Amino acid sequence: MTQLEDINRFFSDFLTSYTISNGSNPYFKALRKEAVEQFYRQGVPERDNEMWREMKWDFIVQNKKYSIQTEPNEYQPVENYFQCATEDIHADMFTFLNGWYVHKQAPLTLFPNGILVGSLREAILQYPELVATYLAKNKEISNGLIDTNQALWQDGFFAYIPDHIHVKRPIQIVYIVNSDQHLFIQPRNLICLGENASVQIVHCDDSLECKETLINTVTEIYVGKDSHCDYYKLENKDNQSTLINHLLIQQQGASKVNTNTTVFNGGMVHNTIAVSLNEPKAEVNTNGLYLVDKNQDISNCLFIKHHAPDCKSNQLYKGILDDKAKAKFIGHVLVEKDAQKTEAHQTNRNILLTDEADVLSKPFLEIYADDVKCSHGSTVGQLDEEAMFYLRSRGICTTNARILLMHAFAGEVVDKINIEALSERTERLVRKRLTGEIISCKNCMQACDKKNISFEIELPDLQA
């Protein structure tokens, strides 16, 4: 049996062994059935798919003991087991434990201004027609991992922001793994903005127990005309974890989306972002920072599709690799024939701290329009020797000089976070990561600050 056959068998075993229900609605039952059939038609991405060419499938299949938690844990206050590292951003927090929304009595909340937030599973039960309008409608990319999620997702975050509503406080989604089992977790998130609406999302992935976990997340974001969405992703998993993310974004006219992904730790992390600019004057800015060491393996793959004219896209990704870490950046921009006056820019920069660290960087453009402004660039190297000499000549020791240069290198990405408190907090976490204060295999970033944190999970203040 080939490796590809082995991994397809690995996922198909879950599809045949588990059935996840979200009520009796025939439409959503059909979605799950359709996903199973689609998986058997296409399977996991093959080696000829550029975004998955270096995927370490053996890292996943080496553990045959994964199980899916089909019911949520018994409720207990989140602060009993979780200390949030980004507590000072004054966000309304929604917490998921082992893939299930943590709540006491309110799985879904409808606010007077029409904002709807909470559990996607519950949203399907209470507002099936609204959810059906958006769920699984993004077909720009398709693969067996998205199919597996659609067939077996357990729960996830749902937000609906009506027309002309601007959410004042950030929304923080926290996914925690805390189990003595080797879990296969599949969250599904759905975030929908009407016209002239805005929201800021902070999405965190953390581990408390260092068990081998496989997390396969799909997040769909729909941004209406003249709307604005900031989506920030912080990933801090243990070295035994595999984290696979698909972020699928659809944008309408004159909308703007900013994404910023920071990877602090993770055994293997594969982030895919696919953005469709469907109407004129839409803009997307995708930024990322990855700080990896030991044998960690990080991939960031972006696919930006310009369907309409007068749209803009910008990509800025930076990485620092130590020890035997590996990273991959694939940035693909597609400009269709009618997408005249497109402006698209890609930049990927990497610093390798050892001879054994390795990075594959491939930004590329596929252009069918003739009136465009597009550029792409990639650099891979070591710390600037002249800058090191300058700092050493000012009495700064070699270790501190290296940290200062790495900190400055990372700062360009961190500075693009529009939530000031989150930017400051991320900057401090980056500094701790670079100085070795965040140890991925023993202590997650929550251990860095021992403040007693409490937060409301029943009825956060989401008034616009």
Mean pLDDT computed over 410-425: 94
The arithmetic mean of pLDDT across residues 227-245, rounded, is 92
Mean pLDDT of the region 53-60: 82
Q: Is 164 left (phi over 0), alpha (psi -120 to 50) or beta?
A: left
CB 243 within 8 A of CB 275: no
Strands 92-97 and 100-101: antiparallel
Distance in angstroms (rounded) separating the CA atoms of residues 323 and 377: 25
**pLDDT for the residue numbered 235:** 92
- Please write the tens of the pLDDT for every residue from 333-351: 999 999 999 999 999 999 9
pLDDT(372) > 80: yes
In this predicted structure, what is the pLDDT of residue 427? 92
pLDDT over threshold 50, residue 219: yes
Conformation bin of residue 147: beta by default, left when phi > 0, alpha when psi is -120 to 50: alpha
Residues 6 or more apart from 151 whose CB is under 8 A from it?
15, 20, 32, 33, 35, 36, 39
Residue percentage of the chain with pLDDT more than 70: 91
> Given pLDDT bands bounded at 50, 70 and 90, which one contains residue 109?
very high
User: Could you give the C-alpha distances from 266 to 99, 187, 327, in angstroms and in order?
Assistant: 18, 18, 12
**Measuring CA to CA, how many Å separate 374 from each of 207, 366, 419?**
40, 10, 29
The owner of tokens 């929908």 is 192
Lowest mean pLDDT among 74-78, 195-199, 368-372, 411-415: 74-78
Confidence of residue 1 (pLDDT cuts 50, 70, 90): low
pLDDT band at 3 (very low <50, low <70, confident <90, very high): confident
> In the structure, what pLDDT confidence band is assigned to residue 437 with cuts at 50, 70 and 90?
low
- The predicted model gives 59-80 an average pLDDT of 82
Kindly report which listed range (72-81, 252-261, 270-279) carries the lowest average pLDDT score: 72-81
Kindly report, residue by residue over 282-322, the tens digit of the pLDDT. Answer: 999 999 999 999 999 999 999 999 999 999 999 999 999 99
pLDDT at 77 over 80: no
Cβ atoms within 10 Å of 76's Cβ, excluding its own:
11
Tell me the average pLDDT across 180-194. 95
> What is this structure's pTM?
0.92
Tell me 370's DSSP state.
S
Q: Could you read off the pLDDT of 114-152 as tens digits, one per residue?
A: 999 999 999 999 999 999 999 999 988 999 999 999 999
- Say how far apart CA 410 and CA 429 lie, in whole Å: 11
- The edge-to-edge listing of strands for the beta sheet with 283-292 is 100-101, 92-97, 171-177, 198-207, 228-236, 256-265, 283-292, 312-321, 342-352, 372-381
Q: 236 or 115: which carries more pLDDT confidence?
A: 115
Place of tokens 């998205």: 146
> Do 294 and 305 contact (CB within 8 A), yes or no?
no
Is 171 a residue whose pLDDT tops 60? yes
Q: How far apart (Å, rounded) are the C-alpha atoms in residues 41 and 187?
A: 23
Please give the pLDDT value at position 439.
Answer: 45
- Of 102-111, 188-197, 202-211, 448-457, give the lowest mean pLDDT range: 448-457
Higher pLDDT, 178 or 314: 314
Beta-bridge partner residues of 271: 245, 300
Partners of residue 103 on adjacent β-strands: none
Q: How far is CA 222 from CA 219, 318, 406, in A?
A: 10, 27, 35
**Residue percentage of the chain with pLDDT more than 90:** 68
Instruction: Give yes or no for residue 454 having a pLDDT over 60.
Output: no
